[in-house]
Amino acid sequence: MTTRVQLDVRPEVAAALRAGRPVVALESALIAHGLPWPVNLETVRAADAAIRAEGAIPATIAVRTGRPTVGLADLELEVFAREKDVLKASRRDLAVAISQRRDAATTVAATMALAHLAGIRFLATGGIGGAHRPLTAAAFPLRERGRGEGWDISADLVELGRTPVAVVCAGAKSILDVPRTLEILETQGVPVVGYGIDEFPAFYVRSSGEPVSARVNTPEEAAALVAAHWRLAGAGLVIAQPLPAEAALQADELTDVLIRAESAAAESGMRGKELTPFLLGQLAALTEGKTVRANQVLVVENARLGARLAFCFALI
């Protein structure tokens, strides 16, 4: 006989869910592995504040000493922001973290899975994972990243194809093969919706040059699309809004530093779930912190939009 894993849904989040109030999940891998101290803690606190300002409840998700936890307290956020040995947990790693009573920071895939178990329908993050391009093919510009073969594909894409949670993001991380990522999402039946845009954003860059599958211009339009998708028994959706122009990098600037970062990764033999944090760290160093500042801005803006969508969806 199997039973569903016990979640520690904190009182504020549980009360909001019971009352049908909007709740927005936040991933914890961003805190533990995506941004440096103290920027990581500052960013998640700002995201929390943005969600509350829109009338929704933030719920950062992680595994605390083996217990899946929905709605970390501020002191717990600081623990994840400071600790160096927190497990980075995707969907496959949740059972390990639970059975070994580990602290684990959840990726988009793992956060989606736990959010769905808790009854949360919206998740805000920086950028989704996707298909990595081969590091030996580092010189291709953003619009030509479909070349070559590679097996490093994020579990985020599979989770989006099976779990009914809407993920608000700034597109896919700029280090990825964007055309291939979008092709996989299409195969998984995942709508890729541009918020106020016709082209898919690429995290630090406002546009990848690749088209989205649909465009919406208001939170109300986005919420209606999400509702229709779920009425058709659809699973996840990507709601992508670009980074504000004043914080974005230019495509040529990013391509130059990305080639150098990927060369360093190839020389180090970096792969798997350690590859993305390594590349993001290299980009931060090579751009003298410009990518870190961009990451902060997009996380907060996505949290704000996620709250607006959740609020509109609650009215449907």
The residues assigned a catalytic role are 27, 173
Q: 173 near 254, Cβ under 8 Å?
A: no
Closest by CA position to 56, among listed 126, 122, 128: 122
Contacts of 114 (CB under 8 A, 6+ apart): 7, 25, 61, 68, 70, 94, 106
Task: Return d(Cα 20, Cα 204) in angstroms, integer.
Answer: 34
Question: Where on the phi/psi map is residue 29: left (φ > 0), alpha (ψ -120 to 50), or beta?
Answer: alpha
Task: Return d(Cα 197, Cα 13) in angstroms, integer.
Answer: 32
Task: Return d(Cα 213, Cα 192) in angstroms, integer.
Answer: 5
The full length of the chain comes to 316
Q: 165 near 120, Cβ under 8 Å?
A: yes
Contacts of 288 (CB under 8 A, 6+ apart): none
CB atoms within 10 A of CB 67: 15
Contacts of 272 (CB under 8 A, 6+ apart): 152
Joined tokens for residue 257: 């530093």
Helix, strand, coil percent values for the chain (each to nearest 5) = 50, 15, 35
Closest by CA position to 237, among listed 154, 316, 151, 169: 169
Sequence letter at residue 32: A
